[in-house]
Amino acid sequence: MTIPEVHPRSLIKFLNKAMALAQAGGAGDDVVLRQFQSAIAVLQGDWDDLTRLLDDHSDNALLEAAELVRIHVDDMRELLDEHQTFFAAHRDRVDFLDADQEALDLVARLGTLSAEVIQAISGRADERMKAGLRVDRTDIRDFLASREVDDLATLVADLAAPSPFIVAISPMVAFDSLSEASGRVASTPPTMPPPIVLTRQPPEAILDPAEVMRDELRELDEPTTIVELTVREAWEESIARHSALLDVYSRWTELPDLSHEPGWEELEQSEVWRVSKTTIEMDI
Amino acid sequence: MRTPAQTAAMLVAGTLDRAQWPELDDEDFAGEVGDRLDMVGLELVGSSGKWLARPKHAPTDDIDGFEPAFALNTVELAVIAALYLHLRYLPRNANRNENGEEPSVAVEELLRGFPGYSSRFISQIVVGHLRNAGFVRRENDRLYAGPYLATLNEIEADERSQVALGSFQLRRYLKQRASELEDDHAAD
C-alpha cells in the first residue's frame, strides 16, 4: 500500500482510519491485516531510529525522535482499542495473533524507552538516574575511548594555550658553546693491522679404510676366512674392518670370490659373538 | 635586588618557584609584574607551587602573516583534555578521599583512552611535548598535572566536561535500557 503525502507524525493514525474504511467497505481480512502490519512497520522503524540516535551526539535529534515515537505509540494504542473487536474475531488466525503480539510488544518497548529518553534529556531524571551519573575512573576511560580526538580537543580548545617561553639566548654563551663544539675532534676508527702472507698447508691425508682393505685382500696368498681377515680383539675394530670389506665388494670388481657355507663360526677370543662361515678364495 | 621588569622578563622565558620568589606574594610587586605582562597579552598566575605567565587568550593562527612559534595540535589538545579529566575533574567530582596525595594517572591508563594511536606516539611524543610545554610532569610511569594544566579555566573546563560526560553516561544508560527491553522481548 502506498501512503501519499502523509506527515510522519500522522502515519499510524492514517493507517488506523484506512483499516476502519477497509472494514466498513467490506474489504477482505487480509487487506486489513496488511494495513495493520504497515503500522507495525512504522513502529519498528521508530525503534531502529531511536536506538540509532542514542549513538548520535545531538540531544535535540534524540528528543524529537522520542516525541514522535510517543505520538506513534499513543496512536497505536488507540488503533488497538478501536479494532479490539476485529482482532478478537480473528483469534483463530496465527498471522493475526502474531501481528497483534508484535504490536503490543513494540508499544510496550517504545513507550518505556521514549518516556525514559524524554525524561532524561529534559533534565527530569529521577534519583536513580542522578545516582548513576556519578563519575569514576571507568567512566572517564570509557568516555575517552568512545570519542574522536577532534571531539576531545574541543573540550579545551580555546582554554589551553601554549606557554610563551621565549628563549633568551646570550651571545657570549652561544659563541662559547660554538667554540667548544668546533674544538671537538671527530672520533675515527683504529687503524687496520698490516697485511700478512698466509702459508698454505696441505690437507692431512686420511686413509680410506676400504682402500686399505682392498690392498689387504689383493695381498692374500691363500684362502682366508672372513673371521681371520676381519675379526680382531675389540668389537669396534672388528666391525670397522667388516664394514670396510663390504664396502670393497660394493665398489670394486676383480676381487677374490667368496664362498659361503651354512652355519656360523662362534668365537671365544674376541668381543664378536659369531660370524657367518665365508671364505675368501684365491681364484679370481 | 629583584625588579618587576626582570621578573616579568623571566616569566616569559619560564616559570618561577613560588617558595623562592616571595616578592610575588607582595601585591604591589605582583601588580607591577602583572601590568608588564598584561601589555603583551599575558597574565600572572600562581599554580602548583609555581608562578607563571599565561596567555589571556589562546592565540589564533588565522591572522595574515602570523605564524605561532608553539601551537598545540588536535591530538595534543585531546591529550590535555584527557589529562584534565583524570587529574583535575575526576578528583573534584568523584567524592573520593585521595589521602591528600597529589592526583596522578598511570601512563597505561591514559593510553587506554586513545586506542587508535600507538602507545609510543602518545606516551613519548605527545606527552613529551606537553611535558616540555609545562602541561604535565612525568615521574616513572605516572603523570601529574604540570603548572599550565593547573591554570586552565576550571569553571569553563568543568562545565564542558560535565556536559560531555553527562551526555555520554546518559546515552550509555539509555542504550543499556534499550538492550534490556529487547532482551525482555526476546525472552517472551
Q: Where are the domains of chain B?
A: 4-55, 74-152
A-chain residue closest to B130, CA distance = A162
Are the CB atoms for B26 and A180 separated by under 8 Å?
A: no
Mutate to test the interface with A, among B50, B169, B179, B180 (most CBs of A within 10 A): B169
Q: How far is A124 from chain B (nearest CA, A)?
A: 12
pLDDT digits (tens, 9 = 90+) for A67-89: 888 888 888 888 888 777 777 77
Q: Count interface pairs A-B at CB distance under 8 A.
A: 170
* Beta-carbon separation of A132 and B82 below 8 A: no
Q: How many CA atoms lie within 13 A of A157 on its CB side?
A: 10
B-chain residue closest to A44, CA distance = B182
- Of all residues in chain A, what percent carry a pLDDT higher than 90? 24
Q: What is the pLDDT of residue A8?
A: 72
Element (H, E) at B43: strand B42-47
Residue with cell 611535558: B131
Which position has the higher pLDDT, B49 or B144?
B144
Is B137 exposed, middle or buried, given 0-12, 13-18 or 19+ CB atoms closer than 10 A?
middle
Q: Among B13, B166, B177, whose Cβ lies nearest the Cβ of A168? A: B13
Distance, in Å, from the CA atom of B168 to the CA atom of B166, rounded to the nearest integer, reads: 5
User: With left for phi above 0 and alpha for psi between -120 and 50, is residue B83 left, alpha or beta?
Assistant: alpha
pLDDT at B29 > cutoff 60: yes
Cα angle value A168/B12/B158 (rounded, 5°)? 145
Which position has the higher pLDDT, B75 or A33?
B75
CATH topology of domain B74-152: Arc Repressor Mutant, subunit A (1.10.10)
End-to-end CA gap in chain B: 84
Q: What is the pLDDT of residue A47?
A: 85
Are the CB atoms for A238 and A270 separated by under 8 Å?
A: yes
Q: How far is A181 from chain B (nearest CA, A)?
A: 25
| Beta pairing partners, B138 | B143
Record the cell numbers describing residue A138, joined without a space.
Answer: 571507568
Distance, in Å, from the CA atom of A39 to the CA atom of A80, rounded to the nearest integer, reads: 11
Global confidence as pTM: 0.60
Which position has the higher pLDDT, A232 or B99?
A232
Q: Among A59, A159, A163, whose Cβ lies nearest the Cβ of B157? A: A159
Mutate to test the interface with A, among B88, B110, B181, B188 (most CBs of A within 10 A): B181
Distance, in Å, from the CA atom of B145 to the CA atom of B155, rounded to the nearest integer, reads: 17
Each domain of chain A, given as residue ranges in start order, spans 8-132, 209-280
Q: What is the pLDDT of residue A162?
A: 77
Q: Which residues contact A157 (CB under 8 A, 6 or more apart)?
A: B58, B77
- Dihedral pair phi/psi, residue A253, rounded to 5°: -115, -175
Among A129, A114, A104, A115, which residue's Cα sits nearest to residue A36? A104
Which position has the higher pLDDT, A166 or B170?
B170
Q: Among A134, A157, A161, whose Cβ lies nearest the Cβ of B54? A: A161
Q: Among A55, A59, A157, whose Cβ lies nearest the Cβ of B77? A: A157
- Dihedral pair phi/psi, residue B90, rounded to 5°: -60, -50
Q: Count other Cβ atoms within 10 Å, centred on residue A66.
A: 25
Q: What is the pLDDT of residue A36?
A: 83
The angle, 0 to 180 degrees and rounded to 10, between the axes of the packed helices A137-146 and B154-187 is 80
Q: Which residues of chain A have pLDDT under 70?
A: 1-6, 57, 123-133, 166-168, 283-284
Distance, in Å, from the CA atom of B5 to the CA atom of B31, rounded to the nearest integer, reads: 12
User: With left for phi above 0 and alpha for psi between -120 and 50, is residue A237 left, alpha or beta?
Assistant: alpha
Are the CB atoms for B156 and A159 separated by under 8 Å?
A: yes
Q: Among A116, A159, A166, whose Cβ lies nearest the Cβ of B12? A: A166
- Dihedral pair phi/psi, residue A190, rounded to 5°: -60, 150
Mean pLDDT (chain B, rounded): 87
* Beta-carbon separation of A161 and B85 below 8 A: no
Q: What is the pLDDT of residue A57?
A: 66
> At B187, is the pLDDT very low, low, confident or very high (cuts 50, 70, 90)?
low
Q: What is the pLDDT of residue B100?
A: 72
Element (H, E) at A148: none
Distance, in Å, from the CA atom of A133 to the CA atom of A120, rounded to the nearest integer, reads: 11
In angstroms, what is the C-alpha Rg of chain A? 52
Record the cell numbers describing residue B48, joined without a space.
Answer: 602548583
* Beta-carbon separation of B167 and A144 below 8 A: no
Distance, in Å, from the CA atom of B88 to the CA atom of B124, rounded to the nearest integer, reads: 22
Mutate to test the interface with B, among A56, A141, A152, A169 (most CBs of B within 10 A): A152
Helix (H, G, I), strand (E, B) or coil at B51: strand
> At B35, is the pLDDT very low, low, confident or very high (cuts 50, 70, 90)?
very high
Q: What is the pLDDT of residue A1?
A: 47
Mutate to test the interface with B, among A49, A101, A163, A167 (most CBs of B within 10 A): A163
Distance, in Å, from the CA atom of A124 to the CA atom of A59, rounded to the nearest integer, reads: 14
pLDDT digits (tens, 9 = 90+) for B106-162: 999 999 989 889 999 999 999 999 998 889 999 989 999 998 888 888 888 988 888
Q: How far is A64 from chain B (nearest CA, A)?
A: 15
B-chain residue closest to A167, CA distance = B13
| Beta pairing partners, A280 | A224, A258
Q: Count other Cβ atoms within 10 Å, centred on residue B147.
A: 22
Q: Among A105, A121, A143, whose Cβ lies nearest the Cβ of B188? A: A105
Are the CB atoms for B25 and B44 separated by under 8 Å?
A: no
